[in-house]
Structure 1
Amino acid sequence: MTSYIKDCFYSLSTCISCFPSPQLRINNRSFKIRKLLGEGGFAFVYLVETRGQELFALKKIRCPFGPESVQTAMREVDAYKTFDSPYIIKYVDSSVEQEADGSKSVYILLPYLKNGNLQDAINDHVMNGTHFSEEELMALVVEICHAIKTLHQHRIGGDVSTTTTVPQSSYRLGDDEEQGLVAADELNNSANATPLSELVPYAHRDIKPANIMLSDNGRPILMDLGSCSRARIDVSSRQKALELQDMAAEQCSMPYRAPELFDVKTGANIDERVDVWSLGCTIYTLMYFTSPFEHQTNETGASLNLAIMNGHFTMPASPEYSDQLKGLVKKCLIVDPQERPFIDDVLKAASEEYREV
C-alpha cells in the first residue's frame, strides 16, 4: 500500500524537491529519484541520478494482477533487448522487485533524453503560437519511417552483424505461478518456430508523438515497446480475434489505433501496416496538433471509433501545407489494410517529398 501511495503522491507533482529525497536500488546500483517524468496506467517514469550524477529514465510498471501482469511487463524488457538500432531506445538494466503489499513491480532503466518527445515539441509550438515548417516535418517523417522500418524488417539469428537473436525473458514464473497463465505471444504462434536469418517483422502498435523521443541531435527514437511484438497474426479463431481486440484496446491508444484492431474478424491477417496507419495519424498531429479523428469528432460530434473505422477525416485550412504532404497522410490512412502501403512505400514517397521541399 505504501508504494501505491508513493506513486499517487508523485503523480500529483513533478517537483521532487517538495519531498524527502527518495533512494532506490536496482541490481545493487543506487539511484536518487529527481522527479516524475510521466505516467500512464500502471506505469510511472522517473528521472533518476546515480551517485556519479549520471541521469537515467527509470520506468516502473506496477503488476497488481499477479504473474500474468509481470510476464506482460517483462515482454517489454525483451522487446528492448531484441533491437540494436539508433532508432530504438537503448535498454540499460531491469529488475523485478516485490513491494511491501506483496505485489511485484518491474523496473526498466533507460537512457534519459533531455530533448523529450514529439508531444513535448507539439506542446511548445502550441504555447508559442508557432508550427512546424514543412521542411522540419518532412525531415522528421523520413527519420520516423526509418525507425519503423527497423521493426518491420527485423531479422533474427544468423549473421549477428545484420540480425539479432530474440532473447528469452529474464523473468521466470515459479511453479506455483505457472498454472493458468496464457501468454499473449500465443497470438503469434504461427511465427514461433522461425528459422535462423528469416525476416520476422515486428509491429510497435502504439506509434504516436508521445512515444517518439528526440536524441541530442534531434533524431527520432521509438520508445515504450510494451505493445511491440511479432507483427503478422493469423486470426484463426473467434477466441483469438477477441484476445487481439482486447489487447489492442488495452495497449494501443485509440486515436492512433488502426481500424482493423477495433473489430477483429475471424480469418483476418493482421500485419505491420497497423503502424503505417498510426504513422499517418502522427504526421497529421504534427501538422495540426490534434489527431485526424479527434479533429473529426470535435467538428462533427461523431463517435471516435466510428470515425476511425470509416476513415472519415478532413484537413484544416491552417497552417498551410503542400498537397504532397497531405497526400502522404491520406496514403497512410487507408482503411483497408490490404490496400494500405508498407513502410518502404511510405519512406520512398516521404524521401521524394523531402527532396522537393
Structure 2
Amino acid sequence: MPPAPQGTILPGTTIQLGRFTVVIDRYIAEGGFAHVYVGSILNNGVIVPGYPVVIKRIAVADKERLAVVNSEIETMKRLGKHKNIVEYMDSCMGKLEHGGYEVLILMEYCGGGPVIDLMNRRLQHRLTEPEILKIFSNVCEAVAYLHYCDPPILHRDIKVENILLSNNDYKLCDFGSATTNILRGDNIPRNVKDIQLLEEEINNHTTLQYRAPEMLDLYMRKGIDEKIDIWALGVLLYKLCYYTTPFEEQGQLAILNARYTIPDHPVFSPALIGLFQSMLKEDPRQRPNIYQVMKMTSTLRGLPCPIQNVSCRHISASLFRYRMPTSTTTDSRSYIDPSLV
C-alpha cells in the first residue's frame, strides 16, 4: 500500500456523508485530484460489521471542474444498482477554506481490488482463457446496461484499471468520463473550433491506448457513438490475453489503421482471437454491438446469453432486466459476423 500523502484524512476520523455516518479506516490510493479511503458505516455510533465502504475525496479548484464531478455523480445515481457496476451510495460537497471545493463520494468497497493488480500478481502464471472470459463477460454486462439506457451512456474509459473484483463478480467503475453526448449526423462537429474543443475533451477524459480511430482523427467526421466502447472492449480483451495493448509499441498511426499483431504465446482459441478481432475494426459500422459481443462471449463460455437483443437503441434502464432467456440455445458461430451489425 502506498504511503498516505500530506493532507489525507486521518484514520479514526468520523464524517457525515449525506445519509451516512462514516469512520475512516485507512487511505488506499490517489489519482488525479482524488484521495481514496476505506471506511466503515456507523449506526448509532456502532460500526456496522462486514460492510466496508469506499470514500472518494475530490478537491476541485473551480465551478467548471465541480460540474464535471457532479456529472459523474449524476451518472452513478442514474445507473442505480447492478451486479457489475460499482454501487454509488451517497455524496456531499463543501467549500474549502482556501478556495475551491471538496466532494466526497461514498461507494461500495470491492475487496478483490483492480484487475490490473491481479494481472501483476500473475506475471508467471497468466490468466487462463476461462478466467479472461469471466472478467470480460462481466464487463460486457455492465456496458450493455449503459448502452441500453435512454439515452445511451458511453463509458469512454473502459480499461483494466477500471475493473474491480468484488466477491465473485467483476465490476466496472470510474464514471468520470461517461457521457450521453452521441455525435451522429448533424451533431458531428463541422468547424475547426468545435473539433478542437472535442479533441480537448477526449484528451482529458479518455486513455490513448483504448481510443478508437474515430476519436483520434475527428476530421474524418465518422461520429462518436457506442462503437467507441466496443473498440475499447476489444483492446481490453487483447490486454487480458497478452498483458499489453494491441498498439502499445506502434502508436497512433497503428490505431488509425487498426494495425496490430497477435503474439504466438500464450495460445488462445481461434474463437477468442476472432472475438477481439471483430471489435478492433477501423470502420465503426463493421464492429458488433454490445449484444453481439455478449452473445459470442456467452457461447465461448458455454452459457446462455444473459441479456436480450434490443434492436431499438433507446430503452429505459428501468425496463432492462438481466434474466436468463427461457431458451438455452447457443449460437454455433465461432466468430461475430460483421454483416450483422
Higher-helix-fraction structure = 1
1:32 maps to which of 23, 48, 67: 23
- 8 Å CA contact 2:24–2:39 kept in 1: the answer is yes
1:208 aligns with 2:159: yes
Alignment gaps of 5+ in structure 2: 303-331, 335-341
- What is the alpha-carbon distance in structure 2 between the residues aligned to residue 10 and residue 265 of structure 1? 44
| Corresponding residue of 1:293 | 247
Aligned to 1:338, the other structure's residue is in SS state helix
- 8 Å CA contact 1:97–1:106 kept in 2: the answer is yes
1:226 aligns with 2:176: yes
- What is the alpha-carbon distance in structure 2 between the residues aligned to residue 106 and residue 263 of structure 1? 34
- What is the alpha-carbon distance in structure 1 between the residues aligned to residue 282 and residue 221 of structure 2? 17
- What is the alpha-carbon distance in structure 2 between the residues aligned to residue 81 and residue 202 of structure 1? 13
Q: For residue 83 of structure 2, what is the amino acid of its counterpart?
A: P
1:148 aligns with 2:143: yes
- 8 Å CA contact 1:207–1:278 kept in 2: the answer is yes
Q: For residue 113 of structure 1, what is the amino acid of its counterpart?
A: C
Structure 1 position 33, deviation (Å)? 2.7
- What is the alpha-carbon distance in structure 2 between the residues aligned to residue 221 and residue 133 of structure 1? 19
Quote the sequence identity (%). 30
Structure 1 position 305, deviation (Å)? 2.3
1:249-296 residue CA offsets vs partner (Å, 9 max, x unmatched): 1111111122211221374421011111111111111111122211xx
| Corresponding residue of 2:216 | 262
Alignment gaps of 5+ in structure 1: 1-5, 156-199
Structure 1 position 130, deviation (Å)? 0.9
| Corresponding residue of 1:176 | none
| Corresponding residue of 1:236 | 189
Distance 1:273 1:29, change over 3 A: same
- What is the alpha-carbon distance in structure 1 between the residues aligned to residue 204 and residue 295 of structure 2? 32
1:42 aligns with 2:39: no
Report the number of matched residues: 291
- 8 Å CA contact 2:213–2:256 kept in 1: the answer is yes
- 8 Å CA contact 1:236–1:266 kept in 2: the answer is no
| Corresponding residue of 1:168 | none
Aligned to 2:106, the other structure's residue is in SS state strand
| Corresponding residue of 2:315 | none
1:314-338 residue CA offsets vs partner (Å, 9 max, x unmatched): 1222211111111111111112222
Distance 1:124 1:67, change over 3 A: same
1:349 aligns with 2:340: no
1:238-259 residue CA offsets vs partner (Å, 9 max, x unmatched): 3332222211111111111222
| Corresponding residue of 1:120 | 117
Structure 1 position 30, deviation (Å)? 4.2
| Corresponding residue of 1:340 | 287
TM-score by length of 2: 0.78
- What is the alpha-carbon distance in structure 1 between the residues aligned to residue 119 and residue 7 of structure 2? 24
5 Å-filtered alignment, 1:1-357, equals 8-9=5-6, 21-27=12-18, 29-51=20-42, 52-53=47-48, 54-64=51-61, 66-84=62-80, 85-126=82-123, 129-155=124-150, 200-216=151-167, 218-230=168-180, 232-233=182-183, 234-238=187-191, 239-265=193-219, 267-294=221-248, 297=249, 302=250, 304-355=251-302
Distance 1:266 1:322, change over 3 A: closer
Structure 1 position 7, deviation (Å)? 7.4
Structure 1 position 29, deviation (Å)? 4.6
- What is the alpha-carbon distance in structure 1 between the residues aligned to residue 176 and residue 152 of structure 2? 16
